[in-house]
Structure 1
């Protein structure tokens, strides 16, 4: 599948354009074709779709630059060029006749070994391919990208009536490695796996609103993060999807699943149909199940379809359940609750579990694929069968046997004392630290050093949000020395299994000292942080951060310090300290100053200044990267960093890199001086900040902080551009950082983050 280099996507609507965008993200050349427009611009439709990609939020693009990989065209002028494409994905409107007609044209031009795919959310492949030749059918398969394709991990693959052996497996491996997708193979049944189970779950979770006296707010509380699902829960999700869209989908599903024993449960309540008639369609009409009225989020009253202020939630013990950190234990407690909460969960979960079980083998081959589909496509933390196992296989089995629900024969063959077996990843390059059972070398309380294999050590953050406490700083310094001193060790990976690399420095640890006006311990911690970043940078053996998710503030500084890093594309890096009234003081400002001088080539002020100005502005605006690629463009990440599309492969890739570096042998950086521009340059930066203040783009305190940052990054009170060493800028970092802790507005910003988890613009 490495032969796939050129892709053609036919249909430039919401899905087609974003599928094209994700292939472009991953480095592929993509032709995006659509209907021909009358007038001077025959490709106006696809050209317009490409331009829209730059305006979508969240962005479907890793970086605006990848748009250059997409080439818009039209069906009349460019179908004949399909013979250049290795993969053709049709993604036009879900209309059977339109798809059939387009495929009859496509197949005239494609090359013999091209892969042919239709992106559909539920139309039968046997109908779409009705008029295709046997030759085309062998190269044909169905794909179902979940929206938005960049962010939704799930990709359902559906074999066609005559898909040749091995093609599906080959394409699955291509999508896993190059697109970062989690693959499930679905059978050619209505709505495939994710949306078949998801629509059923959505329908069952809204019924208590009409039958059992639950409020919209109560159901959203019960079906959100409390049970391991997104914050949008049930009704906010319906508003986002569109009430009319979900009505259309469930109506079509009801028509298509004539042999499904629960078919009539997909009929939407009359109240939902009335909402659609009245234009209460959700977010797109600004009124659905929720609407913002006079600045207040209100929910619909089905008495007169007006919007009422939220009622107080009266669910006994709910606050106690929220405090249970482990999801499995929390689900058991919710299921066993003797009141309304337990009634809701037992009714909902028993229906969901029995329905999911009865869909095997109709929609897929095993229960693991249903669990994967719901986690990757619907963002559930646990799939239906994992929930079953967490609550207790035998308990649920007995409850189902005593209920109105029936069970399929395959469930009866499972040992009730064991339950569902957890499937291991079939991929040798996808694993977690936990799965590898690494040997503990040393525990640092908020982190630990582990011995993995072949001389590779792993330094794992273990504290809350993986924050960087004083113990973590001591740990990294100690771990690097330990690994350097022992010949058996080749280097360190700084990594963890969580969804984020690190939220940054431990502000809570610092806050107590600030309140007591005790700055000596803070000075010690900042000094230690700078020491740690230098130890990482100049280590005699590779120290490689393995990054995913958020890497903010001090975490970003660790990554910037490392000469090499492995970074998942879905990583969001940034020096965000100004948002809490501080400046980067763990070496981040110094590295941005030195980087500007390095990028300029010659150490001349007029060459360095534009690079330094951009780096100053990036920090001053607390910019966070939209991806790993964007982190490189924002200069948080070295150009030589290894970017990984599939985050689950990051440890494998990092291990291979470490071994390669250690065999060269590894050569660590050498200290060097660089050009600092001095106070005159700082004055021009401050003038730029003043213009932003006058334009009301920043607050007065933002301006104050930006000026402090300019002072550091330009080299303090130097009267002219001068060569300085790294420690000179590090000392300025520490001096300004400590001075800011005496500012009332900085303390207010820190307090806002710690108390309310939101930034304060004062």
Structure 2
């Protein structure tokens, strides 16, 4: 299938509420200039409402903006004065309140001001797209559709894309492709039914939990302990999620569902429970009101008691026998045990899953094209580890189907509606060829839009496997391979160690990969799923420390420095494909590659101070080299400003907030590539290596004239450290570790302006690193990190 390419030079967002402002922010993140509209303020600045919303983006958490400077991409406007600016916009997203009459009125206002090719999309969470389409003149309806972002738009992967009957198919394909690559989204095409896919299933799931909480007389904290990570759901589970959403919002959506689904067999359950109505009545609306189902009193968390409607200490957990059932990795055995158990917690879980499975099967033909779309909607929109059909299939399709049918017959299910006939006729809904469509009674393959060809390793559904490419070399720690369908002459190195830590075997794998690439290939990509790498293998290092093998440790550090040098000076381009955490040695590996292709949500930093060490794989050396080169480029003789900045980030163990921030912190180059869709990383990285090779790539010459600030700079940094220590802002050992960082960054005990080479700085790095390893306080930090997974301040 081919699709036209969509060019969005400018966009508009109508409505500056929570969702509208954040959608505008994410467009701005993606370097799309955007005009954010709202009503004209009655008093003062007519744009006051919008300006307040834009200002609020700076304070919002989690941060909707990748960097504050993205605000320059957002212009403000109001409907009274600036509708003529819509003619400049290729995409207009409406995100006002969920009242159809308000939306229709706004569409009437904007229609005369739109360009002929502008796409208009409603961010409605459930109003009929076909009804909204009718508000436009007939000739405009082909350029209208629904585009439902999930909150918060920057972080939530799901966008539901909903066509109206008149929506142009080619435009719709092009918009999906643009959302996937430019905005980094996972798109599910939804049918024009109330609440679409994710909220239809998600709301029912919440209502099922609420219903069975009462049926089995469980506490809200008890239910949250059951419905969080233990069953593959987010930590906020059910009732904490409700508090975050807002209990009044949840009640409004529930009432709306009851009104718009008059023939739904579960309609009697679309109602607000008495305890929820009571909370709303007294203004306990959840997190935004300071409390809802849960509230914080001082340092204590309290939870509502359903019977008394009063609060009590929270903390109820999962019964040991139920915990044991949930630890069973065999899904079929786990579900059979839940159903067979007499414990109310186990019965609750079975009942909740049973009714969600029942609901999804009954409504599949109506709400979604196929089972895969339902599962991805719940994974991407609600944070489930697996979607409902995946869970059902993993637990044994027919066994679960029979159990559901028996419970329906026995009157135990929330509805007596029979399972659809197709359920009994099948053994699964997902397989390699595609996922089941109840509407068409056929398996549906994944989308053939060209944009998905950029995803070499897309999110998998149960029954699917990734293509592995061709293995060139593999052991327990690394794999070197290639993907012939993209480029058979670009090698790829993947780490296999836990959290992709950099132990002896991984470091050796870097040498092998570089040698292989130089001998037989045109480039080398370092890629694996997130995290990119969490740093050195501390356990290996600690074993040598305990044996006091200091000479051997010196060689180990030198060997790692050699590996990063091999990446930097390789005779073919080396490209790091970074996703997630690249900490410590992981950051140093990325920093030494010729180019970085980074997923937007990548967090890069030299964090060694947390375990009482300094960067010694070339991290300090790189920061000093880059500081010197930056000063030269700016016509300054002294790199002091850049050194100060690097020093501050190293001694605090600071990490970038995202890939764009990594550039400003010096961990990445301005020319590096940032992708909003992490699934495109390996494809783009391989293509980048190819482009660099075809451009007659030449590795850099080793830097031989790095200007350092020397003794005076070191003395100034020491003064800062003394002030921090005396002010109680760092511990005595923080001071020792920071001294070592200062010495390396300043180039050692030399005159200011001295020109040194890379090996000089690497030598100081290595010696300071090994000296710190001899320090008992550093050893305590390393041990604590290994045992507890978090840093120790000593």
Q: Does 1:407 align with 2:439?
A: no
Q: Report the equivalent of 1:481.
A: 515
What secondary structure is seen at the aligned counterpart in 1 of 2:320? coil
Q: Report the equivalent of 1:430.
A: 455
**Match 2:738 to one of 694, 698, 706:** 706
Q: CA deviation at 1:113?
A: 1.2
Is the Cα–Cα contact under 8 Å of residues 638 and 709 in structure 2 kept in the other structure? no
1:4-43 aligned at under 5 Å gives the runs 4-43=8-47
Provide closer, same or farther for how the CA distance between residues 604 and 135 of structure 1 changes in structure 2, counting only shifts above 3 A. closer
**Match 1:462 to one of 496, 518, 531:** 496
What secondary structure is seen at the aligned counterpart in 1 of 2:70? helix
Q: Does 1:679 align with 2:711?
A: yes
Q: Report the equivalent of 1:109.
A: 113
| CA deviation vs aligned residue, 1:187-242 (integer Å, no higher than 9, x gap) | 22221111110011112123332211333333223221122111111122112112
1:626-705 aligned at under 5 Å gives the runs 626-673=657-704, 674-693=706-725, 696-705=728-737
Q: Report the equivalent of 1:178.
A: 182
What secondary structure is seen at the aligned counterpart in 2 of 1:484? helix
Aligned residues: 758
Q: Does 1:446 align with 2:474?
A: no
Q: CA deviation at 1:706?
A: 2.6
How many Å separate the matches in 1 of 2:310 and 2:144? 50
Q: CA deviation at 1:679?
A: 1.3
Q: CA deviation at 1:32?
A: 0.9
How many Å separate the matches in 1 of 2:315 and 2:7? 59
How many Å separate the matches in 2 of 1:75 and 1:689? 54
**Match 1:97 to one of 89, 97, 101:** 101
Q: Does 1:733 align with 2:782?
A: no
Q: CA deviation at 1:595?
A: 0.3
Q: CA deviation at 1:417?
A: 10
Q: CA deviation at 1:666?
A: 2.7
Provide closer, same or farther for how the CA distance between residues 314 and 685 of structure 1 changes in structure 2, counting only shifts above 3 A. closer
Q: CA deviation at 1:141?
A: 0.9
Q: Does 1:233 align with 2:237?
A: yes
Per the normalisation by structure 2, the TM-score is 0.90
Q: Does 1:745 align with 2:777?
A: yes
Is the Cα–Cα contact under 8 Å of residues 584 and 608 in structure 2 kept in the other structure? yes
How many Å separate the matches in 2 of 1:501 and 1:708? 27
Q: Report the equivalent of 1:46.
A: 50
Once structures 1 and 2 are overlaid, which stretch shifts more, 557-566 or 387-396? Answer: 387-396
How many Å separate the matches in 2 of 1:744 and 1:698? 18
**Match 1:562 to one of 593, 602, 605:** 593
Once structures 1 and 2 are overlaid, which stretch shifts more, 506-515 or 236-245? Answer: 506-515
Q: Does 1:528 align with 2:529?
A: no
Q: CA RMSD in A?
A: 2.4
How many Å separate the matches in 2 of 1:599 and 1:333? 64
How many Å separate the matches in 2 of 1:56 and 1:743? 42
How many Å separate the matches in 1 of 2:554 and 2:695? 39
1:313-328 aligned at under 5 Å gives the runs 313=317, 315-320=319-324
Q: Which runs of 5+ in 2 are unaligned?
A: 409-415, 436-444, 459-464
Is the Cα–Cα contact under 8 Å of residues 613 and 769 in structure 2 kept in the other structure? yes
Once structures 1 and 2 are overlaid, which stretch shifts more, 103-112 or 120-129? Answer: 120-129
Q: Report the equivalent of 1:264.
A: 268
Q: CA deviation at 1:376?
A: 0.7
What secondary structure is seen at the aligned counterpart in 2 of 1:62? coil
Q: CA deviation at 1:447?
A: 1.9
How many Å separate the matches in 2 of 1:113 and 1:609? 52
Q: Does 1:614 align with 2:645?
A: yes
Q: Report the equivalent of 2:602.
A: 571
| CA deviation vs aligned residue, 1:519-552 (integer Å, no higher than 9, x gap) | 4443333222211111111111222111111111
**Match 1:165 to one of 157, 166, 169:** 169
Q: Report the equivalent of 2:219.
A: 215
Is the Cα–Cα contact under 8 Å of residues 8 and 89 in structure 1 kept in the other structure? yes
Is the Cα–Cα contact under 8 Å of residues 325 and 338 in structure 2 kept in the other structure? no
Q: Does 1:349 align with 2:349?
A: no
How many Å separate the matches in 2 of 1:321 and 1:538? 53
1:56-135 aligned at under 5 Å gives the runs 56-135=60-139
Q: Report the equivalent of 1:716.
A: 748
How many Å separate the matches in 1 of 2:430 and 2:52? 56
How many Å separate the matches in 1 of 2:28 and 2:66? 9
What secondary structure is seen at the aligned counterpart in 2 of 1:369? helix
Is the Cα–Cα contact under 8 Å of residues 596 and 611 in structure 1 kept in the other structure? yes
How many Å separate the matches in 1 of 2:513 and 2:560? 14
Is the Cα–Cα contact under 8 Å of residues 744 and 761 in structure 2 kept in the other structure? yes
Q: CA deviation at 1:312?
A: 5.2
**Match 2:368 to one of 356, 364, 367:** 364
Q: Report the equivalent of 2:442.
A: none
Q: CA deviation at 1:399?
A: 1.8
What secondary structure is seen at the aligned counterpart in 2 of 1:501? coil
Q: CA deviation at 1:513?
A: 3.4
Provide closer, same or farther for how the CA distance between residues 31 and 492 of structure 1 changes in structure 2, counting only shifts above 3 A. same
How many Å separate the matches in 2 of 1:706 and 1:698? 10
Is the Cα–Cα contact under 8 Å of residues 194 and 200 in structure 2 kept in the other structure? yes
How many Å separate the matches in 1 of 2:381 and 2:674? 23
| CA deviation vs aligned residue, 1:361-389 (integer Å, no higher than 9, x gap) | 21222111111100111111111111111
Q: Report the equivalent of 2:542.
A: 511
How many Å separate the matches in 1 of 2:173 and 2:780? 55
How many Å separate the matches in 2 of 1:526 and 1:739? 12
What secondary structure is seen at the aligned counterpart in 2 of 1:107? helix
Once structures 1 and 2 are overlaid, which stretch shifts more, 284-293 or 88-97? Answer: 284-293
1:564-603 aligned at under 5 Å gives the runs 564-601=595-632
How many Å separate the matches in 1 of 2:580 and 2:251? 35
Q: Report the equivalent of 2:381.
A: 377
Provide closer, same or farther for how the CA distance between residues 590 and 664 of structure 1 changes in structure 2, counting only shifts above 3 A. same
Provide closer, same or farther for how the CA distance between residues 334 and 672 of structure 1 changes in structure 2, counting only shifts above 3 A. farther
What secondary structure is seen at the aligned counterpart in 2 of 1:611? helix
How many Å separate the matches in 2 of 1:150 and 1:331? 36
